[in-house]
Chain A
């Protein structure tokens, strides 16, 4: 009962006692798991520390007291060994029960046109190439480098061009799968309320995902912003390698994407023109 109440309690905004959550379902499941371990840990903590402090006072040296010469108690010792093992077996089972919710992306709450859909099955696995039938998801390639994050969005021309730096704009309700990579040294992608870290290791692609729930957008707000920063030492300015994920309603996001695409196109055309100019001037000499 207590466990249920705690799990269902609204997420505290500050993380003094619990990991951050409420940004993405995987972060919420991690928080649930954390609470369970915390409860078990609290019982062990109170039990053992209590017994030790009690012993220290109850059995302190006094005149006339004689220490009991006990060398051990096999039954007791087997008992607490088995007890400790049993707690850990329980924890293992519970972890695997929750693991699917954490590791495997949830189905999007919106369809390809941004309309809400009813909740359906989760993906079978994170490394599954395509989302299941009837569910939409977006894959963004995240590349860490000293000291910035760059994002490669899926576009009609493929996914080989940087679309944005540091601020990642995503549609609220859409499941976002991240392919995390690194260009130079190791980094670690982490936006606390959106779930756990994914280390960015050069030469490897790490996977993680998040989904900003539809109800995350508060009344009167036009966006929801989550902040994080690089979590793996990546050099002197490691502390300055920040990232934000900005959730927009689907239509706003489409507008952002189209505008961004337009800007990039113009910039490319300008660069191409400039290149031709330079080549022309060089060739003329």
Chain B
């Protein structure tokens, strides 16, 4: 830890001219630039995945629609799920964490900057491998690629191979990125930043990283088995040759459920960072939230078969996975209670970042409650593989992750660019996001209860699902409009946004200590950390030394915007 404080003694003889232009983006090993590369790539994939969602909603908007062929429909939902999971939500956290974990812990970069660059490029090429298949035949066996459907006999096209290569490349990218985060967080924290003073976003990224290492390596082995079965004559999954079709489901969900927490834990981290800043109050129960994060991750490794309740399983196994799924509700509930308690008796500033956080928490809570229905296996027998499940996981994955993603954008955009985003446009975007989301997905619970299975490309008028689906389709377009407004806001603010200064929100964590955008070395000097909220301590110290009030006063505009 000494290295972080001692000033380097270098005598400069010659200085390289600073490089400019796009080549620096290709050759960079700076965690901030890599973070921005991640985020921009994710934005492109998010738009693609969103357009795919809209295509599906158009197809399902009216009964007996012929807008998409069954083949195209299957390809599109496969791409949508795969894109959103592997190319949007996992890497979006890698992107934000790349930029902010070193800043939040007072480090000058990640532990292995060149490895970090390699992770990014592998992620990008993984995405390109998947979308390259558009020029041939895209995969069509679903993002979960259940065997035997995904075996060569039933899905002969090489789109399935493209899917496997995408999983391999992005998986390796994620694992290496995770190792990098683990090494960085364990070794490069500012002096004084013990485990009990680490920002909660960093805590969630640490746990995210451990889960990535455990889950994505397992998935890599699983898809390799599929690759071998498809191309090299092995029979891991072919029951006719002594293989097992259920083996795939167990292996896939052994990755798949920890994956859910990989998507959602950093979102919890964002909530835990943003709420205290805008409620002007310390996070309620810091230790409980950090412990709950670890608890969720541990239990998250033990619940995978609740995705398979309708397969042949003994009652003992069913009961075990019901109970473990119940258990996970306890730490999750604890977090929600802590967030609400953080708001309690604060002075709440309704900035866009806060709105997206409370909107996300409120939405996620509903996904948590529907999760209890699905954990009770007899009830799950009715609900699984219906639109009830589609609604449930969008309430959790979208409710927490996508809301938190946008919250993080509004919260950290001024740090990354030096300019604030427009609050008015942001608020319009928030309300459309909230309304559009619930319009799309609330009604899907009813569609599922009424017997509408997932992944059907059409339904008959007589099924009685027409109104529900039309409402859902309208909601999807409202949601798309909201995303469009935020993108316009982002582009517009790059040039025209008000200058943010180093600390526009009067934040709590160390990224606000350095200028916006931060210089390449992040910090000339790293302050000693004495609490969870080092910036509060620093502002207090400045106040004492200069007599100029640094504290935020309730009711006054936060920034001159």
Contact = CB atoms under 8 A, between A and B. Distances in A.
Partners in one complex: yes
Given A18-B449, A52-B361, A30 B378 contact: yes
A65 B450 contact: no
Contact of B346 (A59, A73, A190, A237): A59
A42 B337 CA distance: 16
B311 interface: yes
Contacts of A239: 70, 456-459
Interface string A98-117: 11001100000000000000
A37 interface: yes
Given A52-B362, A186-B148, A238-B455, A70 B345 contact: yes
A76 B170 CA distance: 43
B346 A68 contact: yes
A36 B405 CA distance: 34
Contacts of B345: 59, 67-68, 70
A196 B347 contact: no
Interface stretch (B186-194, B222-230, B379-387, B490-498): B379-387
A190 B385 CA distance: 10
Contact of B348 (A56, A98, A201, A235): A56
Contact of A197 (B288, B330, B348, B381): B381
Q: Which of A73, A77, A99, A198 has the most CB of B within 10 A?
A: A77
Given A14-B464, A60-B348, A65-B347, A84 B334 contact: yes
B451 A192 contact: yes
Contacts of B308: 199
Contact of B343 (A16, A59, A234): A59
B376 A33 contact: yes
Contacts of B240: 202-203
B469 interface: no
Interface in A44-91: 44-45, 48-49, 51-53, 55-56, 59-73, 76-77, 80-81, 84-85, 88, 91
B286 interface: yes
B154 A184 contact: yes
Interface stretch (A225-233, A258-266, A274-282): A225-233
A55 B315 contact: no
B347 A199 contact: no
Interface residues of A, number: 86
A244 B373 CA distance: 27
Nearest to B376: A95
Given A56-B343, A91-B376, A232-B385, A62 B554 contact: yes
Given A67-B346, A91-B326, A203 B239 contact: yes
Interface stretch (A157-165, A204-212, A247-255): A204-212
A30 B337 contact: no
Contact of B146 (A55, A61, A205, A232): A232
B154 A235 contact: yes
Given A20-B451, A197-B384, A233-B454, A81 B334 contact: yes
B154 A185 contact: yes
A66 B345 CA distance: 9
Contacts of A146: 154
Nearest to B239: A203
Contacts of B379: 19, 30, 33-34, 37
A190 B382 CA distance: 8
Nearest to A19: B382
Nearest to A85: B330
Which of B70, B244, B334, B379 has the most A CB atoms < 10 Å from its CB? B379
A206 B312 contact: yes
A77 B326 CA distance: 19
Contacts of A91: 326, 372, 376
A145 to B, nearest CB: 11
A171 interface: no
A221 interface: no
A132 interface: no
A29 interface: yes
**CB-CB nearest 4 A-B residue pairs:** A196-B381, A203-B239, A63-B555, A239-B456
22 contacts: A16-B446, A37-B379, A48-B340, A51-B344, A59-B347, A61-B349, A66-B554, A72-B287, A77-B288, A91-B372, A98-B378, A192-B450, A196-B310, A197-B384, A202-B239, A203-B246, A206-B310, A231-B310, A232-B146, A238-B70, A238-B455, A239-B456
